[in-house]
Amino acid sequence: MDVGFVGLGVMGLPMARHLQHAGHRLHLWARRPQSVAPFAGSDAVVHDSPAALAAATDVAFSVVTGSADVERLALGADGLIHGARPGWVQVDMSTIAPASARRIAAALEARGAAMLDAPVSGGAQGAQDATLAIMVGGSADVLERLRPLLTCLGRTIVHVGDSGAGQVAKACNQMIMVAAIEACAEAMHLANAHGVDLAAVRSALLGGSAASRVLEVMGERMVRRDFTAGIESRLHHKDFGILMDEAARLGAPLPIAAQVWQQLNALMAGGGGRDDTSSLLRVLEASTTEQSARS
């Protein structure tokens, strides 16, 4: 197939390569010319606008940062919609607000085209290994038509429901995951306050009912104090902004998520937005230092 791809960042670059290696012809558009440099010398086609990319493809994948970015990409003056035709599909794998996904889907449907909101979980490593979990909202028939493409990218592909449902599932995923990161940070902080070896505590916990992928990965980063970003914490902060807005709109109490949101806010205020989310540990440490200074 002729497959478009927009968003060649940490996640998007390996995903686009998987599609190319599977034999599909890539069509690319990027705001920054250097983003397409890894495909120089291949048969990938670079277009000068999203509209031109859509006109040349059967389906286009997008992995960009926020709701406004995806809406501009899809519906802007030179957006994908202007090259869309009946049967064409946008598969947006960004993490955005459910309402944004529904607006884009409705606009494309009016043109006879379609959209799947298909956010992912698994991080950069999952993108590199093609083991992502993909949560899909939109037409089940469209999903089945494109499933062979999605299997190039992920191991678990679940149709959650109508347009926007994939984004709802992703919000739930982020709530659980980042709350678990905060719990790991608090556990490491308590162990450190007692002067207990953090590596030993983590090893003990991994052998019990507290074991989790988050404790395995993020706990190790906390033990080693390696806060180099796997995924920058500002992106989790952005995701929590979406889900807290949804909670306020729906009147749905999310007390634990609200506390984690405040910790993420403190991390952003402290300049940690480009660090890994495991640096939530440093927010706790900073609070302890401030309390000690006051006493």
Residue positions counted in the chain = 295
pLDDT the model gives residue 225: 96
The residues near 90 (Cβ < 8 Å, ≥ 6 apart) are 54, 59, 60, 61, 62, 74, 80, 84, 104, 108, 113, 114, 115, 116
Locate all alpha helices (DSSP H) within 28-164, ordered by sequence.
Answer: 50-55, 67-75, 98-109, 123-129, 140-150
CB atoms within 10 A of CB 258: 12
- Structure token pair of residue 99: 């309402």
pLDDT the model gives residue 65: 87
pLDDT the model gives residue 295: 62
- Cβ atoms of 135 and 143 within 8 Å: the answer is no
pLDDT the model gives residue 291: 66
Give the separation between CA 268 and CA 289, rounded to whole angstroms. 18
Element (H, E) at 269: helix 255-269
The residues near 190 (Cβ < 8 Å, ≥ 6 apart) are none
Q: Which residue has the tokens 């493809």?
A: 57
- Structure token pair of residue 77: 């003056």
Give the separation between CA 267 and CA 257, rounded to whole angstroms. 15
pLDDT the model gives residue 289: 72
pLDDT the model gives residue 288: 76
- Interior/surface letters 82-104, b for 16+ CB within 10 angstroms, e for the rest: bbbeeebbbbbbbbbbbebbbbb
Give the separation between CA 266 and CA 65, rounded to whole angstroms. 21
pTM of the model: 0.93
Give the separation between CA 251 and CA 68, rounded to whole angstroms. 24
One of 170, 189, 236, 282 is an active-site residue; which one? 170
Catalytic annotation present for 170: yes
Which amino acid is residue 110, in one-letter code?
A
- Interior/surface letters 10-26, b for 16+ CB within 10 angstroms, e for the rest: bbbbbbbbbbbeeebbb
Residues of the chain with pLDDT under 50: none
